[in-house]
């Protein structure tokens, strides 16, 4: 008896350890759209007989009810009859964009029309089964294939997203380095201008001026090269896919001002921000808007004399937010304004920065307006929609 008891205890412990080692699988949440009670019983029986899944089945007997369930609950799979109460259930797939998530779908039908399968797959169903061919094993195999395809799609999406994030991080680092170099070179240029005003006993003014001119020219060439790189990378890839989120527009304005503050201070240019509200929120890409504003403030700094202030106003216009950058600089001629609107890629530094800003606004569904007069200054207005643009 003792031996039998020990053997039974060991068997129980082995069974217990196997149970603990087996992974606990979540039930497969299935929405079954079927209006025939008899067919529903058969489908439920076949799904419950699955060898690989424990199925948690929720039934709907019309398309409206199914749409409501999909909008309020989470399902892994939808199994739908092709015709439900004389209504084509494929309308669920055609209006999938109205739902939070449309799970992968299996269409079943007892109709012998040859184009039913083609219609179902074209509408977005991942599998089709004729009711005469339905069995527990057939449904089980279809579910496994469907979920395997979904998992592979999910892994591919994660890999692509990870690769995109890594590429964006690399671009951000390169852009940051370029901006730091431009800031440093601007400081060097400022020192060269200071040097040209100094005269000491060892270096006559003419020689000092030559040295300072060489420093300025070299710095300007490198600054232009870096700015062309930044503008080119922005046009080519950075803002092809904006990263929208709900954010405060004034935060992006202040961030751009903070970035340009040191350069403007070197020329004694004050930057004033005038906003009607403390917070004005919209759906936009904060990084892209910041870059557009950095370009505009950079132009105002570059093409305005020392001591000339720069004013930025932010106003709420219900459906859009108006951001205005005003300077008292050299202004732009009509020829320059025409080149900004043209499609040519080779443009000057001032024109390139404005075109990048205009492209960023256009991708947001917004506008960039320019009012400029030579020797009087420039006013740039950004109209940023409060809502993300849609295909409709």
Query: What pLDDT is attached to residue 380?
Result: 95
Lowest model confidence (mean pLDDT) among 152-166, 311-325, 367-381: 152-166
Burial of 286 per CB tally in 10 Å (0-12, 13-18, 19+): middle
Over residues 29-59, the pLDDT tens digits come to: 999 999 999 999 999 999 988 888 888 999 9
Lowest model confidence (mean pLDDT) among 220-234, 304-318, 375-389: 220-234
Place of tokens 């906003």: 275
Is 218 within a domain?
no
Our CA dihedral for 129, 135, 141, 142, rounded to 10 degrees, sits at 20
CB 28 within 8 A of CB 53: yes
Q: Among residues 292, 290, 329, 284, which one has the least CA distance to residue 308? A: 329
Query: What pLDDT is attached to residue 346?
Result: 42
CB 329 within 8 A of CB 386: no
Quote the CA–CA distance of 108 and 127 in Å, as a whole number. Answer: 9
> What's the pTM?
0.44
What's the gap between Cα 10 and its chain centre?
58
CB 200 within 8 A of CB 191: no
Chosen domain end from 119, 134, 149: 134
Element (H, E) at 285: none
Over residues 264-292, the pLDDT tens digits come to: 998 999 999 999 888 889 999 998 899 89
Query: What pLDDT is attached to residue 13?
Result: 45
Query: Which comes out higher in pLDDT, residue 27 or 308?
Result: 308
Over residues 77-114, the pLDDT tens digits come to: 999 999 888 788 888 888 877 788 888 889 998 887 76
Four-residue CA torsion sign, 149, 154, 155, 161: positive
Return the percentage of the chain with pLDDT > 90, whole number.
26
Categorize the per-residue pLDDT at 332 as very low, low, confident or very high, splitting at 50, 70 and 90.
confident
Return the percentage of the chain with pLDDT > 70, whole number.
72
Element (H, E) at 268: none
Greatest CA span in the chain, whole angstroms? 115
The CATH number linked to 302 is 3.30.565.10
Is 33 within a domain?
yes
Both tokens of 185, joined, read 């070179």
Q: How far lies 200's CA from each of 187, 196, 207, 334, in Å?
A: 22, 11, 11, 45
**Full residue range of the structural domain in which residue 117 is found:** 2-134
Is 382 within a domain?
yes
Helices 286-302 & 249-266, crossing angle to 10 degrees? 30
Query: Which comes out higher in pLDDT, residue 187 or 158?
Result: 158
The CATH number linked to 78 is 3.40.50.2300
Q: Do 246 and 384 reside in the same domain of the chain? A: yes
Element (H, E) at 346: none
Chosen domain end from 103, 134, 165: 134
Q: Do 248 and 385 reside in the same domain of the chain? A: yes
Is 217 within a domain?
no
Over residues 235-252, the pLDDT tens digits come to: 444 445 678 889 999 999
Listed in sequence order, the residues at least 6 apart from 17 whose beta carbon sits closer than 8 Å to its beta carbon are none
Structural domains of the chain, count? 2
Categorize the per-residue pLDDT at 228 as very low, low, confident or very high, splitting at 50, 70 and 90.
low
Quote the CA–CA distance of 295 and 353 in Å, as a whole number. Answer: 5
Query: What pLDDT is attached to residue 218?
Result: 67
């Amino acid at each position: 008896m003792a031996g039998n008891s020990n053997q039974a205890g060991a068997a129980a412990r082995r069974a217990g350890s196997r149970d603990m080692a087996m992974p606990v699988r979540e039930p497969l949440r299935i929405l079954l759209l079927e209006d025939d009670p008899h067919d529903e019983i058969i489908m439920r029986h076949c799904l419950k007989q699955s060898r690989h899944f424990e199925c948690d089945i929720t039934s709907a007997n019309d398309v409206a009810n199914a749409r409501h369930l999909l909008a309020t609950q989470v399902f892994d799979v939808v199994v739908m009859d092709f015709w439900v109460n004389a209504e084509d259930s494929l309308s669920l797939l055609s209006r999938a964009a109205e739902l939070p998530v449309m799970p992968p779908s299996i269409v079943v039908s007892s109709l012998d029309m040859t184009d039913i399968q083609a219609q179902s797959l074209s509408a977005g169903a991942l599998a089709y089964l004729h009711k005469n061919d339905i069995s527990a094993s057939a449904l089980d195999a279809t579910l496994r294939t469907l979920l395997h395809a979904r998992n592979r799609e999910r892994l591919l999406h994660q890999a692509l997203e990870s690769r995109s994030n890594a590429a964006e991080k690399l671009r951000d680092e390169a852009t940051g380095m370029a901006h730091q170099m431009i800031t440093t070179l601007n400081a060097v240029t400022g020192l060269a201008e200071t040097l040209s005003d100094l005269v000491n006993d060892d270096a006559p003014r003419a020689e000092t001026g030559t040295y300072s001119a060489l420093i300025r020219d070299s710095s300007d060439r490198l600054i232009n090269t870096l700015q062309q790189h930044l503008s080119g990378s922005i046009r080519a890839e950075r803002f092809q896919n904006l990263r929208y989120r709900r954010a405060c527009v004034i935060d992006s304005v202040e961030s751009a001002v903070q970035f340009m503050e040191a350069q403007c201070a070197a020329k004694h240019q004050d930057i004033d921000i005038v906003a009607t509200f403390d917070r004005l929120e919209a759906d936009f890409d904060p990084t892209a808007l910041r870059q557009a504003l950095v370009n505009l403030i950079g132009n105002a700094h570059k093409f305005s004399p020392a001591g000339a202030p720069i004013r930025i106003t932010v106003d709420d216009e219900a459906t859009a937010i108006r951001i205005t950058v005003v300077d008292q600089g050299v202004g732009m001629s009509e020829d320059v304004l025409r080149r900004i609107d043209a499609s040519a890629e080779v443009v000057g530094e001032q024109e390139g920065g404005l075109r990048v800003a205009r492209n960023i606004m256009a991708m947001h569904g917004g506008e960039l307006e320019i009012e400029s007069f030579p020797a009087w200054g420039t006013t740039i207005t950004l109209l940023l929609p409060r809502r993300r643009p849609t295909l409709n």
